[in-house]
């Protein structure tokens, strides 16, 4: 199927899953929460939404495999791969904070071809396919044009599980507090990336994310004219568990700050098990 048509179908599927999640948001009871690992929460809402998405994607593209957060379908090594987070921002969802999204990406032989991030409570659908400009609810979007960190609003996610990341992270945070307009931690990496794609945020960085958190959003940033990398500058940001995104100039400045703080930290990134 042509990517444009596929993208339209994925938008519909995201919105259907989003409608289910929105309905459950108003009914949700803390008793439904399960703890997967430290500070990693899940409920039947994440799992049901994932099953809905997987079934519908199987119908429209039977040859593609899956890499999903909730593992409701066996992980695949197929050439075409759906990378799915049915509910990015589960902690927000559980605590009644209305910022969370459906995130669906499609990869072919390691290269992203399509991405949809649907921010449910704002009914904002961010999308892109290879060859297209990224869109928000059907209108083209672009990364910000701000040239320096001093004029920028930067998004991040706090380490909540791998705590040896904290010392270099705090140094970077301290620098950014003093040299930007502000920092936001809104609790959904997919939304952070989508907002970077449309210029609301000038940059975003986070340690320890999974491919399903970033695949769709990162592609939408790229197709909106943005740049992404790992903290080493490498382009393994989907599987590399560290990501930074923004326009070219902000990314360059942010990369320098992060690298400087990581190299001077007594506790280098990724040294724990």
Interface with ligand IPD (CB under 6 A): 40, 69, 85, 88-91, 157, 187-189, 206, 209, 213
∠ CA 23-26-31, rounded to 5°: 110
Q: How far is the CB of 103 from ligand IPD (least distance, A)?
A: 8
**DSSP characters over 201-247:** SSEEEEES--HHHHHHHHHHHHHTT-EEE-TTS-S-TTTSSEEEEE-
Please state whether 202 falls in left (phi above 0), alpha (psi between -120 and 50) or beta: alpha
Count the residues of the shown chain that bind Ca ion, applying the rule CB under 5 A: 5
Closer residue to ligand IPD, CB minimum distance, 70 or 249: 70
Q: Which is nearer to Ca ion, 36 or 181 (CB)?
A: 36
**Shortest distance (Å) from residue 5 CB to ligand IPD:** 28
Q: Does 69 bind Ca ion (CB under 5 A)?
A: yes
Q: Which of 85, 119, 202, 242 binds Ca ion (CB under 5 A)?
A: 85
176 vs 249, beta carbon nearer ligand IPD = 176
* Residue 253 partner contact from Ca ion, ligand IPD, none using kind-dependent CB cut-offs of 5 to 8 Å: none
Shortest Å, Cβ 49 to ligand IPD: 11
148 binds, among ligand IPD, Ca ion, none (CB under 5 to 8 A by kind): none
Quote the CA–CA distance of 127 and 100 in Å, as a whole number: 16
For 190, the enclosing helix (H) or strand (E) is helix 189-197
| Binding partner at 187 among ligand IPD, Ca ion, none, C-beta below 5 to 8 Å by kind | ligand IPD
CB-wise, 206 or 249, nearer to ligand IPD? 206
Element (H, E) at 59: helix 44-60
Classified as helix, coil or strand, 105 is strand
Question: Binding of Ca ion at residue 213 (CB under 5 A)?
Answer: yes
* Both structure tokens of 48: 């049901």
Task: Outline where DSSP puts E strands in 59-134.
Answer: 65-68, 80-88, 101-108, 111-119, 124-129
Q: How far apart are CA 32 and CA 221, in angstroms?
A: 34
Q: Closer to Ca ion at the Cβ: 53 or 249?
A: 53
The two tokens of residue 49 are 């939404």
Least distance to ligand IPD, CB of residue 232, Å: 20
Which is closer to Ca ion, CB of 160 or CB of 163?
A: 160
Q: Which residues bind to Ca ion, rule: CB under 5 A?
A: 69, 85, 87-88, 213
């Amino acid at each position: 199927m042509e990517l444009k048509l596929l993208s339209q179908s994925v938008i519909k599927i995201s919105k259907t899953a989003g409608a289910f999640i929105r309905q459950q948001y108003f009914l949700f009871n803390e008793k439904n929460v399960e703890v997967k690992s430290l500070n990693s929460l899940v409920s039947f809402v994440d799992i049901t939404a994932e099953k809905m998405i997987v079934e519908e994607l199987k119908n429209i593209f039977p040859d593609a495999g899956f890499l999903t957060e909730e593992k409701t379908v066996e992980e695949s090594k197929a050439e075409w791969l759906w990378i799915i987070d049915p509910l990015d921002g589960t902690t927000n969802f559980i605590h009644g904070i209305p910022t969370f999204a459906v995130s669906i990406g499609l990869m072919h032989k390691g290269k992203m071809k399509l991405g949809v991030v649907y921010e449910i409570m704002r009914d904002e659908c961010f999308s892109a396919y290879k060859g297209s400009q990224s869109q928000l609810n059907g209108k083209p979007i672009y990364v910000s044009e701000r040239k320096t960190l001093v004029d920028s609003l930067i998004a991040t996610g706090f380490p909540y599980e791998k705590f040896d990341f904290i010392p270099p992270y705090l140094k970077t945070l301290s620098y950014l507090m003093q040299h930007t307009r502000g920092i936001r931690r809104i609790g959904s990496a997919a939304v952070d990336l989508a907002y970077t794609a449309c210029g609301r945020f000038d940059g975003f960085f986070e340690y320890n994310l999974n491919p399903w958190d970033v695949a769709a959003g990162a592609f939408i940033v790229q197709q909106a004219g943005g740049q992404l990398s790992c903290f080493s500058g490498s382009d393994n940001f989907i599987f590399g568990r560290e990501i930074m995104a923004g326009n070219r100039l902000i990314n360059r400045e942010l990369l320098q700050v992060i690298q400087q703080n990581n190299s001077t930290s007594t506790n280098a990134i990724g040294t724990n098990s």
